[in-house]
Amino acid sequence: MRNVHLLLLLPITFGSQAATIVDHSQIDLSHILSQTASKNYSPSNQPLAYREINHVKAGSNTLLRKQQLHFGVPVYGQSIVAQVSNQGDITPLDGQVLTGISSDIGSTMPMFNADQAIDLVKGTNTGFASRPIGEPRANLMIWQDKQQVAHLVYKVDLVEMKGMSPSRPITLVDAKNGEILDQWEGIAFIEAEGPGGNQKSGKYYFSPTTHFGGFEVNQYCQMDSQNVKTIDMNNQQYGGQVHQFSCNTNSNRAVNGAYAPMNDAQYFGQRVFDMYMDWLNTKPLQQKLTMRVHYGTNYGNAFWDGRQMTFGDGNQSMYPLATWDVIAHEVSHGFTEQNSGLEYRGMSGGMNESFSDVSAAALSQYVNGSFNWKMGEHVMKYSDAMRYFIQPSKDGSSIDHVNQYYNGIDVHNSSGIFNKAFYHLATSPGWDIKKAFIAYATANQLYWRANSNFQQGAEGVCKAAEKLGYQSSAVHSAFAQVGVQVTNCTSTQPNPNPKPTPTPGISELEINVPTPVDANGNDEQHFVLKNAPSQDIWVQTYNGYGNVDMYVAINRPASLTDNDCASTNADNGEYCGFSGVGQTDIYIMVTGATGSSDAYVGVSAYLDEQEPTPQPQPQPQDLCSALNEWSANDYYPQGTQVQYYGNRFTAIQDSWGLDPYSYSDPYGHYWYWVFEGSCYQ
């Protein structure tokens, strides 16, 4: 097998790569798992250990999800799925392992404590007046960055008010030096744009004498039952108290066209709990469901903040958001956070949003025996629904197919991919909403990881279906209809007459010959350089106006979800470098994140034109040993050679402060540096 080494994913991505993710099958984990199961086993002195974070009964199988530990510290986003036999033997089935951690982080001893990490993050939020809500959290863990370097970090979780809006910044702080390594918004919102509404649903009555049944309260008629607690925020952003009423009828309080939102919250919160217990044999959350109702003034939103669910009373275009589908949606954000931990950004954020929508569909089936494939229908006053399963793009913002995805798309809009796939799966022969929900939820419990992409998410649903004894061919078909091809899951019912997957038109490139790109909107253009003439290859788009994105794969067509390098800068300057790819075929896909004109794509190579000698001499291991590392503080006359993140560059103009990645041109035509190849041959 040819070794292919990815040199460049995004600008400035090099560094030590001691920490490496490998498939579970490359390591003998059976002995480690059996040791971990021992009562006397202590993981705190082991470089590789596991602890159980979930177990699922899938048909006749007992499956475990186990979190990777490094000397007792959890490794972010890394877990395995294992099966337990009747004799108690544990066999790993799926997952990845982060190896070589010690080479990057040294010891697991942080240089400051969790409280100091929280104070550090608070100190960085100085650009906007903020007020904390609830207790902040900081957990020590190991995290691998995009350059494949492991760090000992604190994951700091704050909930605060910024102006009138709640915010939940999730921040990764290097526990050795205090550097902020990553940050994203973690609050999970329901979101709707434009007109949208509850006289719309009609008035129903919760009572033992109706088909709904009553809702549970305690003996003092406080809305605080065993599983659900409802707090009246009384249109404030802070405080609130458990709602209490005169037994046994609560008619408090109608607002904005809704008859009693706190009744809705208490009742449907319990029904969500019941559904998870009946269908999955698990609680939706590890803690009691806390429902905060009548939040803020004129607040047309709802959110999960990592601790509780909050519902506003709506506004001119929205009814109060404590409706059955929004309640199921927000509670299920908590289920996702406490299982797969899907990050609320990128493709994983779209999956996160979709699972919450899917849970609303499941609740409708559980309570009413049907679902009309509209999300948020009864919230919106002047439009049909918030989102649509059958045709997500009907709302004017969501996407129906993976080729419409672009970096930075709102997670509510990218949820259309998994929502539409769910519709196709639930309506497949032999399937229904219940089975499809259980497959999605089991994937969430076992197979999805924090930064899973659409491809990995679909594979997880397929693997879950197989373990549940469902026909996985329907999963293949459902995701194919949204452009996601399931490849790492065996179909349990092959299609005797499969529809051929059309091969995109592919234009052949020549080395060092720029080719025009015509990529507008979601258009795709495919290129290939056959039989690469060098081990070191540089692929680049440049020139013109607009914004293209580029995806490159070795020996197979490139796509959004299957590539070896994705470059998605906010202009036409995209680039990927590879080493060890001689004699391979380099496939390139260029898409228009926005309209683009006058852009070019090209492939350059470092070619050694010297005649081979009869007795080849050993090549130096490091071709950059005599070259200085590029520095922003130095002046570089034309002709100067430097090394930069493992590659060699030559200045083609005088420059100062212009790094070789951002200002390089493989053809030596326009910019300041020319790529000469890798430092290592």
Domain membership of residue 176 (yes or no) is no
- Pair of tokens at residue 589: 């896909």
Task: State the pLDDT at residue 165.
Answer: 60
* 491 found inside a domain: no
Beta strand spans in 100-177 (E): 130-132, 137-144, 150-157, 160-162, 165-167, 169-174
Name the least confident of 85-94, 136-145, 160-169: 160-169
Which is it for strands 302-304 and 188-190: parallel, antiparallel or unpaired?
antiparallel
Q: Do 376 and 412 fall into the same domain?
A: yes
The region of weakest confidence among 463-467, 615-619, 630-634, 674-678 is 615-619
Q: What does the pLDDT read at residue 292?
A: 93
Higher pLDDT, 582 or 519: 582
| Owning domain of residue 575 | 506-605
- Residue-wise pLDDT tens digits, 234-285: 998 888 998 888 777 777 788 898 888 998 898 899 999 999 999 998 999 8
CATH classification at residue 67: 3.10.450.490
The better pLDDT of the pair 677, 91 is held by 91
pLDDT class for 54, splitting at 50, 70, 90?
confident
- Which pair of tokens denotes residue 264? 């809705």
Q: How many Å apart are CA 208 and CA 480, to the nearest integer?
A: 45
Output the pLDDT for position 610: 40
Residue 192 confidence (pLDDT): 28
pLDDT of residue 196: 26
Q: Which of 95, 98, 100 is nearest to 25 (CA)?
A: 95
470 and 542 belong to one structural domain:
no
pLDDT at 443 over 90: yes
Q: What is the mean pLDDT of residues 344-363?
A: 95
Answer whether 601's CB lies under 8 Å from 540's CB.
yes
The active-site residue out of 191, 330, 343, 574 is: 330
Q: Which of 605, 637, 658 is the last residue before a domain boundary?
A: 605
Which one-letter DSSP state was computed for residue 582? T
> What is the tens place of the pLDDT at every residue in 193-224?
222 225 767 777 766 666 677 778 777 778 88
Which segment of 94-108, 171-185, 530-544, 615-629 scores lowest on mean pLDDT?
615-629
- DSSP character at residue 259: S
Q: Is residue 488 part of a domain?
A: no
Torsion of CA 275, 280, 286, 287, to 10 degrees: 10
**Is there a catalytic annotation at residue 70?**
no
Is residue 174 a part of any domain in this protein? no
Residue 78 to residue 95: CA distance in whole angstroms: 7
DSSP letter for 87, please.
T
Range in 127-141, 440-454, 645-659 with the lowest mean pLDDT: 127-141
**What pLDDT shows up at residue 40?**
66
333-350: pLDDT as tens digits: 999 999 999 998 999 999
Phi, psi of 356 (to 5 degrees): -65, -40
Residue spans of alpha helices (H) in 372-522? 411-414, 416-426, 433-446, 454-468, 473-480
Rg for the chain (alpha carbons), in Å? 27
Are 384 and 461 found together in one domain?
yes
Residues 596 and 623 in one domain: no
Distances in whole angstroms, Cα of residue 279 to Cα of each of 24, 271, 371 = 30, 12, 17
3-state SS of 262-274? HHHHHHHHHHHHH
Same domain, 662 and 555: no
Both 597 and 637 in one domain: the answer is no
pLDDT at position 446, please?
94
Q: Are residues 270 and 377 in the same domain?
A: yes
The 8-class DSSP code of residue 672 comes to S
Domain assignment present for 215: no
136: in domain:
no
Token duo for residue 147 = 């350059």
- Quick check: is 401 catalytic? no
Q: Which of 299, 342, 333 is nearest to 456 (CA)?
A: 342
CATH number of the domain bearing residue 522: 2.60.120.380
414 shares its domain with 457 = yes
Q: Using the 3D structure, point to which of 540, 570, 605 is the last residue of a domain.
A: 605
Cis check: omega of the bond before 253, within 30 degrees of 0: yes
Q: Do 392 and 303 share a domain, yes or no?
A: yes
Do residues 554 and 586 touch, judged by C-beta distance below 8 A? yes
Is the same domain home to 600 and 622? no
Mean local confidence (pLDDT), 491-511: 60
Nearest-angstrom CA–CA distance, 529 and 521: 25
Of 5-14, 199-208, 417-426, 582-591, which one has max mean pLDDT? 417-426
Q: Closest Cα to residue 94, out of 446, 440, 439?
A: 446
Return the pLDDT at 464: 94
For 27, the token pair is: 């390591």
CA angle 455–346–402, rounded 5-degree value? 45
Q: Choosing from 412, 459, 476, 574, which is the catalytic residue?
A: 412
Name the average pLDDT for the chain: 81
Final residue in a domain of this structure, among 605, 632, 664: 605
pLDDT of residue 421: 97
CATH number of the domain within which 627 lies? 2.10.10.20
CA distance 139 to 258: 41
DSSP bridge pairs for 538? 577, 604
Which of 75, 94, 80 is closest to 33 using CA atoms? 80
**pLDDT tens-digit map of 155-201:** 998 877 665 566 778 899 999 999 999 888 776 544 322 222 257 67
**Tally of domains in the chain:** 4
What is the CATH classification number for the domain harbouring 247?
Answer: 1.10.390.10
Are residue 279 and residue 368 in the same domain, yes or no?
yes
The position carrying tokens 């249109």 is 235
Out of 322-326, 381-385, 570-574, pick the least confident.
Answer: 570-574
Q: Which helix (H) or strand (E) holds 12?
A: none
- Residue 4 included in any domain: no
3-state secondary structure of 7: coil
Q: 651, 644, 646, 642: which is closest to 673 by C-alpha?
A: 651
Shared domain for 451 and 421, answered yes or no, is yes
Question: Could you give the 3-state DSSP secondary structure of residue 341?
Answer: coil
4 has a pLDDT exceeding 80: no
pLDDT cut 70: percent of the chain above it: 83
Query: What mean pLDDT is predicted for residues 72-95?
Result: 86
Return the amino acid letter for 171.
T
> Does residue 612 sit within a domain?
no
